[in-house]
Amino acid sequence: MSTPELRIPDRPVAPAPRLPWPALLAMSTGGFVTIMTEALPAGVLPAMSADLGVGQSAAGQSVTLYAVGSIAAAIPLTAVTGRLPRKRLLLVSVGGFAVANAVTAVSPSYPLTMAARFAAGLVAGLLWALLAGYARGIVAPEQRGRAMAVAMTGSTVALSVGVPAGTLLAGLVGWRSTFGLMSAAAVALTGWMLLVLPQPPGRSGRSRTPVRRVLRMPGVTAVLAVTATFVLAHNVLYTYVAALLAPLGLDGRTDTVLFVIGLSSLASVLGTGALIDRYLRPLTIAASALLAVAALLLAAALLGSTGWPAYAAAAVWGLGFGGAATLLQTAVADAAGPAGDLAQSLLVTCWNLGIAVGGLAGGLLLDHAGPSALPWSALALLAAALATTLGARRHGFPEGATRTCEIDAHSP
C-alpha cells in the first residue's frame, strides 16, 4: 500500500495594511487649501484691485509675494524646526492659513493685504516641505508612493476645479467673503487633522542635517535639477497660455483649454498613484516626454495658425504634468532618506523658483520674440530634464530593483 503524500499547507500571505485614508484625505485637503490660497487672487484681480485702490498689476503682486514667502521659508524653517513634532508643525501651518486668509478678507489697505499674502507664503513653504514626508511616514514602505499620490491630489483638484469654482463664487458673494470662507475651511481642517493625524515615528529629537550634506547625497541634485527645468518649462507655457491661444483664434477659449488640462491632470494623478511604487523612473521619463509632445503640438499649431492641436496639446499636457509633483517628491525623499523633510524643502524652493523665473522668462520671450518662441524654449528645457532623468539611473531615478532596495534601507 502506498504511503499517503504529506502535503504542507501553503503559508498564508499577509494582506497589505490598509492606507490611513482619513489622515491622507486631511493632508490632501491641506494641499487644496494651500493652492486655493495661492491662486485665487489671479481670478479676482479686477475686484481686488478696485477694492484696495491699486492697479491690477499691483494687485497681481499678491501672487508674487506668496511665492517669495514660500521660497524664503521652505529651507530655513524646515531646518530650524527639524527636531519639533511633525504633527504640531503641520497644525501650525494650516492654522497660519486661517489667520492669513482672515486678514486678507478684512484688510482695508494694500500694504496689510500684501503682508498677509507674504505670511501665507511662509506657512505654505513649511507645509509643502512637511506634507510628503508625513504621508510617507505613516504608511508601510511599499505604500509610500500611493500615500503621497493621495496626499497630493488636493493640489490638482484645486487647480482644475477649485480655482474656477472659487472665482465663480467670488463673483457671487465677493472676493473678501471667499477668502473668509477659505479661512473658515482652514480652521475646520485644523480640527480634522488634530483628530485623525498620527504622529510619524522617529522624527522628534533627530539631529539636524546640514543643507550641504543633503545636496551631496547621491541623486538629490539630479532630482532638484529635473524639478527646476521641468517646472520652468511648464510655467513658461502655463503663465502665458492666453497669449499662446490668441493667434489661434482661441483667446475666448482659455478657460476651456485650462479645464482640459485640469481634467487630464486628474487622470494623471490617479494613474501615478496606482503605478508609482513600481514604475517611478518610467513615469518620470513619460512626464517630461508628454509635456514635450504638448509643446510640439502648440508649436505646430502656431506655425499652421490652426486651433485644434491646442486641445490635443492640453490633454497631453495635463497627463504629463498632473503626477509630476508626486513623482519628484517621491524621488527626492527616496534619495535623501532620513533627511527627507529638508530635501523636500529644497524641492519646494526649486519648484517656486521655476514658477517665478518661468513668469519672468516667458514675459521677456513674449515681448521680444513673440508667442511662437515659448513652446520651443519649453522644449529645450524639457530636453534637459529628460536627459538628466535618463542619466540618473543609479541614483535619483533608479531602476525598479534599485529603488526597492533604497526604500527598504530608508525605512523608519
- CA 289 vs. chain centroid, Å, equals 19
**Cell numbers given for 135:** 504621508
Which DSSP string do the residues of 224-246 spell out, in sequence order?
HHHHHHHHHHHHHHHTTHHHHHG
Contacts 24+ apart (CB under 8 A), 242-249: 243/366, 243/371, 243/374, 244/298, 244/302, 244/310, 244/371, 244/374, 244/375, 245/307, 245/310, 246/371, 247/302, 247/305, 247/371, 248/301, 248/302, 248/305, 248/306, 248/307, 248/310, 249/307
Give the pLDDT confidence score for residue 201 in this predicted structure. Answer: 64
* pLDDT score of 205: 47
Residues 6+ apart with CB under 8 A from 295: 233, 237, 313, 375, 376, 378, 379, 382
| Per-residue confidence (pLDDT) for residue 405, from 0 to 100 | 39
The pLDDT value recorded for residue 383 is 97
Query: Of 179, 330, 349, 165, which Cα lies nearest the Cα of 259?
Result: 165
**Could you tell me the pTM of the whole model?**
0.80
Residue 94 · residue 189 · CB < 8 Å? yes
pLDDT of residue 206: 52
Output the tens digit of pLDDT for each of the chain's 412 residues: 444 444 444 444 444 578 899 999 999 999 999 989 988 887 787 889 899 998 877 887 787 788 889 888 888 888 887 778 889 999 999 999 999 999 999 999 999 999 999 999 999 988 988 888 898 889 988 888 888 888 988 888 887 778 778 878 888 999 999 999 999 999 999 999 999 999 876 554 455 678 889 999 999 999 999 999 999 999 889 878 878 888 888 877 777 887 888 889 889 988 998 899 889 999 999 999 999 999 999 999 999 877 788 999 999 999 999 999 989 989 999 999 888 888 988 998 998 888 878 877 888 888 889 889 999 999 999 999 999 999 999 999 998 644 443 433 333 2
Task: Give me the domains of the chain, ranges plus CATH numbers.
Answer: 18-207 (1.20.1250.20), 209-412 (1.20.1250.20)
